[in-house]
Amino acid sequence: MIVKRQTTPTLTALEINHGDMIEFERRNGRTVAIEFIDTKAEIIRTTLKQPGTEESGATTIYRFWADCKIAGTAVRLEREVGTQASFYEPWEMDGVHIWLDAVDDIFRFMRETHSPCRLQENCSHARPGRRHARLVIQDASVRICPETVAPWCPLPPAGLRIEDCYRGEDCWLGAYDGASAHGGLDINHPKGTPLYAPIDLDDQFLYNATATGHNNNRWRGIRHWQDGKVWVLTSCHMTHLTVPEHTPLSSGTQYAEGAGVRVGVAEHSHFAFAVLDHGELIRIDPWILFRQMYQDQTAKQAGADR
């Protein structure tokens, strides 16, 4: 199948199958062909007695890769999850940035019991099963969105550290209890840490609240972009919101005090990110947003120093 996408002011997120060809049109009108030939995942090391079966506090580190042909050249895109390498740079090839977000082969040895993060089912009967690969693409000369991205929480000055993702495992798709792909990014910080809107939001609200009998406060912020895409930002474990629900928020506004409800063994906030693109809600790594927050913070500081 040929999947056509073009550069728009916000990133492109999609899930595809082996044999699919993405024709991505760059800002300059040139098209880059990206073909996914094969994808695979394997455990590098684990403390589990039985891979795939959760054990409290167990750790699993794994890698996954995609063999592709990009603009006619064979390339292997390979990633590691559960180490510092989880915070990765996109590949830049032929003028496009490519983030390889996930492959479904991960779920041979991982479960999806810790927030949704698995790839979607194919809709057609001709092709049963899940999509094979999830990726994010943007023209290398275009930002992930047209606005600066403000810190979602106070950013650890030295960058995100895997040790500070709950017990050192809960990055995006990290192995919670050694066997469950973590459907979000956890950042450890003390109860009461302020959370801010990273971008202008059209709407925001708690979709689960302890006040209505749920075990957690789970918040969602929504942004409709002019190019038709919708971003859905999620945060969990807030003690309370500091703004009324269902009001628009401008970037940088505090909306909650975080890390205070159902935080387990380490006070932390849980962040998730999804993009509604071509009618499909694609869940992707919040690190892509945090990476931009760090870049925008550095640029702002450089501007202030000048």
Residues that bind Zn ion (CB under 5 A): 184, 186, 270
Question: Helix, strand, or coil here: 211?
Answer: helix
Question: Helix, strand, or coil here: 88?
Answer: coil
CB 31 within 8 A of CB 139: no
* Among candidate residues 261, 256, 232, the one with its CA nearest the CA of residue 243: 256
Query: CB of 105: closest distance to Zn ion in angstroms?
Result: 23
Instruction: Tell me which H or E stretch contains 218.
Output: strand 218-224
Nearer to Zn ion, 90 or 286 (CB): 286
Query: CB of 29: closest distance to Zn ion in angstroms?
Result: 42
Query: CB of 306: closest distance to Zn ion in angstroms?
Result: 39
Nearer to Zn ion, 67 or 164 (CB): 164
Query: CB of 214: closest distance to Zn ion in angstroms?
Result: 15
Which residue's beta carbon is nearest to the bound Zn ion? 270
Nearer to Zn ion, 131 or 270 (CB): 270
Return the amino acid letter for 239.
T
Query: CB of 166: closest distance to Zn ion in angstroms?
Result: 6
Nearer to Zn ion, 184 or 258 (CB): 184
- Rg of the chain taking only CA atoms, in angstroms: 19
Query: CB of 77: closest distance to Zn ion in angstroms?
Result: 26
Q: How far apart are CA 286 and CA 289, in angstroms?
A: 5
CB 221 within 8 A of CB 203: yes
Alpha-carbon distances, residue 276 vs 97, 111, 192, 225 (angstroms): 19, 24, 31, 10
Nearer to Zn ion, 17 or 188 (CB): 188
Nearer to Zn ion, 3 or 232 (CB): 232
Nearer to Zn ion, 26 or 270 (CB): 270
Query: CB of 184: closest distance to Zn ion in angstroms?
Result: 5
Dmax over CA atoms of the chain, in Å, equals 59
Q: How far apart are CA 32 and CA 244, in angstroms?
A: 45
Nearer to Zn ion, 184 or 286 (CB): 184
Report angle CA 181, 184, 189 to the nearest 5 degrees. 120
Query: CB of 236: closest distance to Zn ion in angstroms?
Result: 7
Token pair in block for residue 82: 């559960």
Q: How far apart are CA 250 and CA 196, in angstroms?
A: 9
The distance from CA 105 to its chain's CA centroid, rounded to whole angstroms, is: 18
